[in-house]
Amino acid sequence: MSSCDTCVVRNRAICSALDSQEIGALNTIGRTRTLAPGESLIWEGDDSVLVANVIDGVLKLSTGTEDGREQIVGMVFPSDFIGRPFGKTTGHGVTALTEARVCVFNRRDFDSFAREHPALEHKLLQRTLGELDRTRRWMLLLGRKSASEKVASFLLEMGERIGGTSCEDSDGPAEILLELPVSRQQIADVLGLTIETVSRQFTRLKAEGVIDLPSRRAVLIRDRFALAAEAG
């Protein structure tokens, strides 16, 4: 694995809890892997044999329904941790939505390392609690919010997680250009909506001047305050 000193997520990933000597030790049990869009890293229900830090790219977490359909249950971004440490099986599949780079560790080796480094275990706990909070917010979004609130909330979440290109506007707040890592059908799957409903909400937000749609995957947030109000 390449030097952790040059890693772009070094100060945000769970390994930020380690000093340089500990990072060197962790470096010896990991390797960097590049995933193509659509390539799977972890399969639902398989033995938990690896965990990973996301360096670059976006991946989806998914599970299968009894009738064979896929349900996207979450997405992971740079600096996120994926896999099930201290567990025997994985509860969902992990697949790259974009080209992605990850630091991969054998799960048993990582478990042993974490037990010897309490600061890393503490960071894992913090991440787990943070993920629990996001899951609870997502339950509210899916269970109580309207279609317009769901789409607006999704765009705000993407703006926070993947960032975007700031486009200065002399007449008001800076606009933000997002390149979404998912298709409209995948957005619909995530939000529990139909693709037609998602498309209608995008069209309405554009007509109201809240967003613009330069291309199929690009969204220009023109009025973030109006979008936040729309999200409820």
What ranges do the domains of the chain cover?
Answer: 4-141, 146-231
pLDDT at 199: 95
**Angstrom distance (rounded) from CA 153 to CA 229:** 10
3-state secondary structure of 48: coil
pLDDT at 151: 92
Matching residue, tokens 């939505």? 97
pLDDT at 33: 93
pLDDT at 1: 46
**Which residue numbers in the chain have pLDDT < 70?**
1-3, 5, 138, 141-143, 164-173
pLDDT digits (tens, 9 = 90+) for 215-232: 888 999 999 999 999 987
Evaluate if pTM is beyond 0.95. no
3-state secondary structure of 169: coil
| Percentage above 90 pLDDT, the chain | 26
Superfamily of domain 4-141, CATH level 4: Jelly Rolls (2.60.120.10)
pLDDT at 173: 62
Rounded to whole angstroms, what are the CA distances from 201 to 15, 23, 206, 211, 225?
40, 46, 8, 11, 17
Quick one: which of 18, 69, 23, 26 has its CA closest to 51?
A: 26
The dihedral sign for the CA sequence 170, 176, 179, 182: negative
- CATH, domain range 146-231: 1.10.10.10
